Amino acid sequence: VVTPRRFEANIREAKSGQIWRDNESRKMLAFVLNISGNSPIILMGDFNAMRGSPEIERFVQAGFKDVFGELNTTEGFTWDDVLNTNIHTYQVPSNLSPERYRRHRIDFIFANRHWKVLGSEVVLNQPVDGLMPSDHFGVSGKIQLMKAGED
């Protein structure tokens, strides 16, 4: 049973996480742009945020390509508590009710204008010997460094 007090606590916790990620993405982008000059850049990892969120869109607005989103029309879920049994290990069973199932792409590869995206796919999304490799699925990208003047 979700009480009004618990609901408010969940909202505050979610908001504080989004604020923290937003601040971290600002700092990361400023740092990377400051040290990289005009160099080829690749940023990748678990951002715990979805396309459309300020913390992800900041990288896109700064000229970074979402390597998976560049060529794919599918969602490319990397967090999937329907299919990934590792998530069930870390969640309270009552949190896994059907209305709470979440499927999102929260893991990204970003590449700046010096890279051409050749392909990308979700990987490590099947069990190996009955076990999922992680609580996230992976993203694999194939990119090519462009010659000077191609970008």
Q: What is the pLDDT of residues 76-92, one digit of tens each?
A: 999 998 888 888 776 65
Q: Given this model, what pLDDT does residue 139 score?
A: 97
d(CA 121, CA 74): 10
Question: From CA 76, how far away is CA 139, in angstroms rounded?
Answer: 8
Q: What is the mean pLDDT of residues 50-64?
A: 95
Determine contact, residues 121/102, Cβ cutoff 8 Å: no
Closest by alpha carbon to 141, among 127, 124, 121? Answer: 121
β-strands 79-80, 138-145: how paired?
unpaired
- Exposure of 94 in the CB half-sphere (CA atoms within 13 A): 2
Residue 68 has a pLDDT of 98
Per-residue model confidence (pLDDT) at position 90:
64
pLDDT, position 151: 67
Run of H or E residues at 141: strand 138-145
Query: What pLDDT score does 18 carry?
Result: 83
Each residue's pLDDT tens digit, 3-16: 666 656 555 665 67
Q: What is the mean pLDDT of residues 38-42?
A: 95
Q: Is the pLDDT of residue 42 over 70?
A: yes
pLDDT in tens, 112-122: 999 999 999 99
Q: What is the mean pLDDT of the chain?
A: 86
pLDDT tier, 97 (very low <50, low <70, confident <90, very high otherwise): low
**Which CATH superfamily groups domain 4-145?**
Endonuclease/exonuclease/phosphatase (3.60.10.10)
Q: Quick one: pLDDT at residue 95?
A: 54
Rounded Cα gap, residues 29 and 15, in angstroms: 21
Give the pLDDT confidence score for residue 57 in this predicted structure. 96
The CA-based dihedral angle spanning residues 62, 66, 67, 68, taken in that order and rounded to the nearest 10 degrees: 180
% of residues, the chain, pLDDT over 70: 81
